[in-house]
Amino acid sequence: MPRRTEGNLHAPKTADQRRFPSGKTADLGKYSLCEDRGTSVLTHLAEIKCVSTLERFPQIRRTGQAPEKVRRSVELRTAVSPRDVKHYTTDRLREEFLIQNLFVTGQIRLVYSHIDRIITGAAVPVEPITLTAGDELRAEYFCQRRELGVINIGGAGTITVDGEVYSVGYKEAMYIGMGSRDIVFASEDAASPAKFYMNSAPAHRVCPTVLIKPEGTPQEGVVIVKDENKVELGCLEDANHRVICKYILPGQVESCQLEMGMTRLEPGSVWNTMPCHTHDRRMEVYLYFEMPEDAFVMHYMGEPQETRHIVMRNEEAVISPSWSIHSGCGSRAYTFIWGMVGENQDFDDMDGVANQDLR
């Protein structure tokens, strides 16, 4: 292994792997640990400083055991400066912002970002899985100080919140308020499991837990997306004809700061959020889906005059800091889920960027 000296603290350009004695780890820029038969594999190393795994990083889940036994994993990511991002390589850009392998059968996988403390994750239950706080939150239960938005992009499933069971179909959603103690995900058919995509943010008050449906009849505990929150934008001539369906936002589903929704591109259109914008008061996470295996989206990010791109595949998410544009162009039409947290909940609070000003 190459010797690292003081000052040689930069992360490698590609995912680096090193072997350490069992029970040891290192200081990480982005935490990811795998332990198997006496060795630990560590990725994205920054400064090597061997200490006890349980002493230094009790929150890191060991993932070397058989996949079917792993029920929950959490990855931590720190905030970054736009002054640094403009110097990133392709690999480093992907390591910091791209979220892959969220939907793993039988598991809950979470990514905790220090950017506005958003948690992005997914649960794909074969048998019921309970969402727990873990050591990352230092809480008795996940929603003790948090709110949670969930959208199902898989088979039919159920979410049980403090004993009350909600049936959640394809593209149906839930808002789960602060103070909800027991949250259990399940699939109606293990052969076609639900895929529950999640965004969570810190909360300061209790808002009602509700099931959200794009269509249907309102009833107690069930909110139907209002016609005014189904917005058609763009046109085929500009290749950006799309329909925005807003799930969680003021006036429809009450929340502390979380907003979530879904945008579907019409056949023949490939651009989303173009002309693009930033919003300094909020950050955002996108999840792209409904894409065949050979399709991709070129997701554009960065400051308007320092743009970068990330090639994204089906069911991959991307973190967008408040200073960054967030736009995409696909090899064909697709759908994406957006989730925002931050200073306000004004959906139209955007700083538009003219196409001619992009670089």
Higher pLDDT, 35 or 144: 144
* pLDDT per residue as tens digits for the range 100-111: 999 999 999 999
What six digits make up the tokens of 274? 């173009």
pLDDT at 307: 83
DSSP 198-238: EEEEE-SS----EEEESSS--BTTEEEPPGGGEEEE--GGG
Residues in Cβ contact with 173 at an 8 Å cutoff, skipping those fewer than 6 apart: 149, 150, 151, 152, 211, 212, 213, 247, 248, 260
DSSP letter assigned to residue 85 = H
Determine the Cα–Cα distance for residues 231 and 272; give it in Å rounded to an integer.
14
Model confidence at 350, pLDDT cuts 50, 70, 90, reads: low
In the chain, CATH 2.60.120.10 sits at 100-357
Superfamily of domain 100-357: Jelly Rolls (2.60.120.10)
199 vs 123: CA distance, rounded Å: 12
| Phi, psi angle pair for 265, to nearest 5° | -85, 140
Q: Provide CB contacts within 8 A for 188, sequence distance 6+.
A: 155, 156, 157, 158, 167, 194
Token duo for residue 63:
């993932």
* pLDDT higher than threshold 60 for residue 28: no
Question: From the CA atom positions of the chain, what is the Rg in Å?
Answer: 20
Task: Estimate to the nearest angstrom the gap between the alpha carbon of 200 and the chain centroid.
Answer: 9
Q: CB neighbours of 253 closer than 8 A, spacing ≥ 6?
A: 175, 210, 212, 223, 247
Is the distance from CB of 86 to CB of 6 less than 8 angstroms?
Answer: no
Tokens of 16: 């680096």
Omega before residue 292 within 30° of 0, cis: no
Would you say residue 16 has pLDDT above 60? Answer: no
What percentage of the chain reaches a pLDDT higher than 70?
76
Q: Report pLDDT for 256.
A: 96
CB 296 within 8 Å of CB 311: yes
Distances (CA, A) of 207 to 48, 138, 143, 161, 217: 44, 22, 12, 14, 21
Least confident of 231-245, 257-271, 336-350: 336-350
The answer on pLDDT for 1 being more than 70 is no
Digit-coded pLDDT (tens) for 187-236? 999 999 999 999 999 999 999 999 999 999 999 999 999 999 999 999 99
pLDDT band at 242; cut points 50, 70, 90? very high
Per-residue HEC secondary structure of 24-49 comes to EECCECCCCEEEECCEEEECCECCCC
User: In terms of Cα–Cα distance, which of 121, 209, 109 is closest to 159?
Assistant: 209
Contact of 338 with 322, CB cutoff 8 Å? no
On average, the pLDDT of the chain sits at 82
Our CA angle for 249, 195, 334, nearest 5°, is: 70
Tell me the residue type at 4. Answer: R
Q: pLDDT band for 347, please (50, 70, 90 cuts).
A: low
Split at pLDDT 50, 70, 90, the class of 70 is low
Counting runs of H as helices and runs of E as strands, what totals does the chain give? 4, 30
Average pLDDT rounded to a whole number, residues 89-96: 96
pLDDT in tens, 58-69: 333 333 333 344
